[in-house]
C-alpha cells in the first residue's frame, strides 16, 4: 500500500498554530482501501480531536466511532467564568453533531463498560459491542474520595467539586448566589498532579470577583494541599494581594482529609476545623474507571503510561490513551490544550501505523489562560519535544513562559483567552 501513496509530507497545524506531527502521504489516500475501524472512548478534549483528525487525515478511509454519553460537549476551560457569573453554561457548550455532519464520525451516545483487548472489542452499557483495529481511550479523570472521611454519596451531592463541567458548575453557581453577603466560601484543592494546574487559583479569582462585585462583605479561603502556588505564581499572588485583598485568604500545605457536609466544615490533617457557608471540595484524582478496569493504569494506581510517539498504552497493545488519564511526561500539564495535542499526535500515528509506515515523533505545545476577573486574563505556555535518548517528551528550553506584570496586556489577553476557547472548540468539534 505504501507504494501506491505519494510520499508527500503534510504538516498539520494545531489550535495554537504550532506544527504538530508529520504525516506521510495522506493527501493522496482518498478513494483507496478502507482502513480501521477505530473506536474512540470519550468525546472530551483528547477524544473529540482524535476522532475528527482521524477522519480528516485519512481522508475518510478510516471508519471512526466515538462513544460518549453526553449529547453536547461542555468545556471545563471557561467554566470558572460561569461560577463568576460573566459567562453562561450555554456559552461553553457545543453540540457533538458537527463531528457526524461535517466529518462522518459515527456517534454512539453510551458508556463503554469493558474493553476486551484480545478480541479487540468494547462492550457498551446499553448492550452490544463494537470491534476495533485500534482503540483510542480519552476518558478523563475519576475522583479519589476513598481517603476523605465524610464524603459519602449523599455528601457528594451537597459538597460539590465542579471539576467536570456541567450540572455541578451550575449547581455551585446557585449555591454562591444563595449565600448571604458576609458569608465564607471554602475551596480545598489537592496535591499535584491534578487536572489543570492553574484552575483552582483561577476559580478563587472568579468567585472572589463575584463576591467583590455582588457580596463585598464576604470572604474566600483557598486551602491548597501543595507547599506553594503550583502555576503562574507571581500573577496569582498579585491578583490575591491587590485585586482581592481582604477577600481572598490563601493557605499552603493545607490537606483536607475530612468533610462535614451537614456542619459545613473542612478538617485538615493537622486537626484544624474550618467552617464555611459554601464548600467546594476538589478531590485528588486518577484516570477514569474504564482505564482502570481495562488494565491501562501503570503508575501509582492512578495514571496510564504511554509511548509518547504513538500514545499507545505501555500495558495494552493497540490501545492509545490520551489526555488527563495519561502518566504525564516531565513538566507536561494535564490541560485541555495538551489533550488536544495528544489527540492530534495519536491520530497522526494511527494513520501512519495503519498505512504500514513509521510514525514521526510529535511536537506538542500548551497555552493555558486564566481569567483574573471578567475581562483580564494571564497565560502560561510551553513547547514540548521528543528526546530520543530519554524516550520521552520534554519542554524545549527557553520556550514559553508566563504573562508579564503589565496590566494593560492582561486586558488584551482577556480577548485572546476567549478567542483561544472558540478556536479550540472549532478545532475539535466543528
Ligand atoms: P475530558 O475532557 O474530561 O473528556 C473525557 C470524556 O470521556 C467525557 O466527555 C466523558 O463523558 C467521557 N467518558 C468517560 N468515561 C467514559 C466511558 N466509559 N465511555 C464513554 N465515554 C466516557 N485546560 C486548558 O487547556 N485550559 C484551561 O483554561 C483549562 N481550564 C480548566 C478549568 C477547570 C475548572 C477545569 C476543571 C479544567 C480546566 N482545564 C483547562 C483542563 C481540561 O478541562 C482537561 O485537561 C481536559 O478536559 C482533559 O481532556 P480529556 O479528553 O482527557 O478529558
Measure the CA–CA gap between 323 and 92, rounded to whole angstroms.
19
Probe residue for ligand 1, chosen from 336, 369, 421, 422 as the CB with the greatest number of ligand atoms within 8 Å: 336
Hey, how many other C-beta atoms are within 10 angstroms of the C-beta on 246? 8
The three grid cell numbers given for residue 322, joined into one nine-digit string: 490520551
Q: What is the pTM of this model?
A: 0.93
Average pLDDT over residues 394-414: 96
Chain position carrying cell 493522496: 28
Cα 45 to averaged position of ligand 1 atoms, centre (Å)? 6
Residue 1 has pLDDT above 60, yes or no: no
Ligand 1 centroid to Cα of residue 142, in Å, is 11
Residue 320: cis peptide before it, omega within 30 degrees of 0: no
**Ligand 1 pocket member 341 (CB < 6 A):** no
Does ligand 1 come within 6 angstroms of the Cβ of 323? yes
- Ligand 1 pocket member 48 (CB < 6 A): no
pLDDT of residue 36: 80
- Rounded to whole angstroms, the Cα distance separating 118 from 209 reads 53
Tell me the Ramachandran region of residue 31: left when phi exceeds 0, alpha when psi lies from -120 to 50, beta otherwise: left
What is the CA(47)–ligand 1 centre distance, in A? 9
Give the integer Cα–Cα distance in Å for 304 and 421: 27
Q: pLDDT at position 34, please? A: 86
Q: Does position 19 have pLDDT exceeding 80, yes or no?
A: no
**Residue 21's pLDDT is what?**
43
CA 290 to ligand 1: nearest atom: 18
pLDDT, mean of residues 400-404: 96
Pocket residue to mutate for ligand 1, from 201, 339, 341, most atoms within 8 A of Cβ: 339
Give the number of other CB atoms < 10 A from CB of residue 205.
29
Instruction: Indicate if ligand 1 lies below 6 Å from the C-beta of 138.
Output: yes
Residue 319: how many other CB atoms lie within 10 Å: 26
Cβ of 46 closer than 6 Å to ligand 1, yes or no, is: yes
User: Picking from 23-37, 88-102, 390-404, which range would have the lowest pLDDT averaged per residue?
Assistant: 23-37
Cα(74) to centroid(ligand 1), Å: 9
The closest alpha carbon to 342, from 58, 59, 20, belongs to 20
CA-proximal residue: ligand 1, atom 12 (nearest): 42
List, in sequence order, every residue forming a beta bridge with 57; answer none if it has no partner: none
Question: Higher model confidence: residue 27 or residue 264?
Answer: 264
- For residue 193, cis peptide bond before it (omega within 30 degrees of 0): yes
9: pLDDT strictly greater than 70: no
Within 10 A of 210 (CB to CB), how many other CB atoms are there? 23
Instruction: State the distance from the centre of ligand 1 to the C-alpha of 218, rounded, in angstroms.
Output: 31
Amino acid at each position: 500500500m505504501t507504494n501506491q501513496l505519494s510520499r508527500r509530507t503534510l504538516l498539520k497545524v494545531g489550535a495554537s498554530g504550532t506544527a504538530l506531527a508529520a504525516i506521510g502521504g495522506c493527501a493522496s489516500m482518498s478513494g483507496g482501501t478502507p482502513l480501521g475501524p477505530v473506536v474512540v472512548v470519550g468525546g472530551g478534549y483528547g477524544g473529540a480531536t482524535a476522532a475528527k483528525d482521524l477522519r480528516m487525515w485519512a481522508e475518510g478511509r478510516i471508519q471512526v466511532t466515538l462513544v460518549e454519553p453526553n449529547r453536547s460537549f461542555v468545556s471545563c476551560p471557561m467554566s470558572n467564568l460561569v461560577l463568576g457569573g460573566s459567562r453562561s453554561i450555554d456559552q461553553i457548550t457545543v453540540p457533538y453533531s458537527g463531528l457526524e455532519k461535517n466529518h462522518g464520525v459515527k456517534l454512539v451516545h453510551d458508556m463503554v463498560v469493558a474493553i476486551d483487548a484480545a478480541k479487540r472489542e468494547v462492550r457498551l452499557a446499553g448492550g452490544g459491542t463494537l470491534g476495533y483495529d485500534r482503540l483510542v481511550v480519552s476518558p478523563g479523570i475519576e475522583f479519589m474520595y476513598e481517603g476523605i472521611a465524610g464524603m459519602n454519596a449523599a455528601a457528594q451531592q451537597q459538597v460539590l467539586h465542579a471539576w467536570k463541567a456541567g450540572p455541578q458548575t451550575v449547581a455551585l453557581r446557585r449555591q454562591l448566589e444563595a449565600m448571604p453577603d458576609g458569608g465564607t466560601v471554602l475551596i480545598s484543592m489537592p496535591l499535584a498532579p491534578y487536572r489543570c494546574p492553574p484552575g483552582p487559583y483561577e476559580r478563587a479569582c472568579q468567585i472572589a470577583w463575584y463576591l467583590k462585585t455582588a457580596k463585598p462583605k464576604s470572604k474566600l479561603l483557598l486551602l491548597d494541599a501543595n507547599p506553594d502556588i503550583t502555576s503562574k505564581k507571581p500573577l496569582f499572588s498579585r491578583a490575591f494581594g491587590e485585586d482581592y485583598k481582604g477577600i481572598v485568604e490563601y493557605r499552603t500545605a493545607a490537606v483536607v482529609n475530612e468533610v462535614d457536609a451537614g456542619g459545613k466544615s473542612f478538617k485538615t490533617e493537622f486537626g484544624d476545623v474550618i467552617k464555611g457557608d459554601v464548600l467546594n471540595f476538589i478531590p485528588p484524582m486518577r484516570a477514569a474507571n474504564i482505564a482502570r478496569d481495562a488494565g491501562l493504569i501503570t503508575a501509582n494506581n492512578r495514571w496510564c503510561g504511554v509511548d509518547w510517539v504513538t500514545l499507545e498504552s505501555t500495558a495494552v497493545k493497540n490501545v492509545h490513551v490520551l489526555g488527563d488519564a495519561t502518566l504525564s511526561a516531565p513538566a507536561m500539564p494535564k490541560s485541555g490544550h495538551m489533550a488536544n495535542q495528544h489527540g492530534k499526535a495519536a491520530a497522526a500515528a494511527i494513520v501512519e501505523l495503519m498505512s504500514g509506515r513509521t510514525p514521526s515523533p510529535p511536537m506538542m505545545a500548551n497555552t493555558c489562560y486564566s481569567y483574573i476577573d471578567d475581562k483580564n486574563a494571564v497565560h502560561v505556555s510551553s513547547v514540548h519535544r521528543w528526546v530520543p535518548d530519554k524516550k520521552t517528551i520534554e519542554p524545549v528550553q527557553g520556550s514559553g513562559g508566563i504573562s508579564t506584570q503589565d496590566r494593560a496586556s492582561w486586558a488584551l489577553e482577556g480577548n485572546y483567552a476567549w478567542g483561544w476557547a472558540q478556536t479550540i472548540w472549532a478545532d475539535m468539534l466543528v
